[in-house]
Structure 1
Amino acid sequence: MIAEMDEMLKLWALDMHGGLGASGSGGGSMLGQLMDCKGELIRGSPGGSRMLLPWSADIEVIVNKHLEWPLAQVVREHYLNRDSLDHQKWAHCGCGRTQFYTRLGRAHVAIAGMLLERVA
């Protein structure tokens, strides 16, 4: 996985999808947000990082329209589905742990390449 791409996708999830699981029980409290994020602190303002918003919109289009289905599926599961355990995410994508993270790594490379094409 590409560390910078991982951070961008975390911010994309926060910007475009609220960064909360299906329960959405954060309610604005720090403790509620930590519970929703399963203890994973994502730096940025409480409402999301508006500085990355242009990139978030590009990432949204890439994930929804240009990324091949298996890669888009693992991106959505990994970054947007905070309610499921890891083994449930792998099962939903129809693969094991190794293949899930291989696909996620390929997705990072594909998204980074498409972002670079948009900049050029």
Structure 2
Amino acid sequence: MIPEMDEMLRLWALDMHGGLGGGGSGGSMIAELMDSKGMLIRAKGGGSRMLLPYSADIELIVNKHLDAQLAVVVREHYLNHQSLDHQKWRHCGCGRTQFYQRLHNAHVAIAGMLLERAA
């Protein structure tokens, strides 16, 4: 995985999809931690560190331009916090190694498309 893309995709999930775990926590820190299985993303300064246009670009890339297999892996990894890892892998039709290889390939593809858009 590319650490910078991982952070951008985590922020995209937060910006565009209402936070981790699909909401329902009512703003409680403990409930949010429970919903996200202990994963907490802190946004500095009370907001996202990524500008909304990048979130919108990532949303468009994932939904329209990314290979279908890669898009499923991205959605499972960043948006589905209710399933266990082996359930995510099964949903994507692959094992652990292939799942993370696809996730890396998705990072590379998304980064390339973002650079094309910026140029």
CA-CA distance at 1:48 after TM superposition: 5.4
Quote the Cα distance in structure 2 between the aligned partners of 1:84 and 1:5. Answer: 22
| Structure 2 Cα separation of the partners of residues 101 and 5 of structure 1 | 14
> Per-residue CA shift, 1:76-119, capped at 9, x if unaligned?
00000010000000000000000000000000000000000000
- Equivalent position of 2:87 in the other structure: 88
Where does the alignment leave 5 or more consecutive residues of structure 2 unmatched?
none
* Mapping 1:1-120, distance limit 5 Å: 1-22=1-22, 24-44=23-43, 49=48, 51-120=50-119
Show structure 1 runs of 5+ residues with no match: none
TM-score (norm. length: structure 2) = 0.93
Contact 1:2 1:105 in 2 (8 A): yes
Provide the alpha-carbon RMSD of the alignment.
1.7
Instruction: After superposition, give the CA deviation of every residue in 1:39-86 in whole Å (9 maximum; x if it has no partner).
Output: 1111216x8527431110000000000000000000000000010000
CA contact (8 A) 1:12 1:59 kept: yes
Report the secondary structure of 1:117's partner residue.
helix
Q: Deviations over 1:1-57 (max 9, x none)?
A: 0000000000000000012325x3311111111112211111216x85274311100
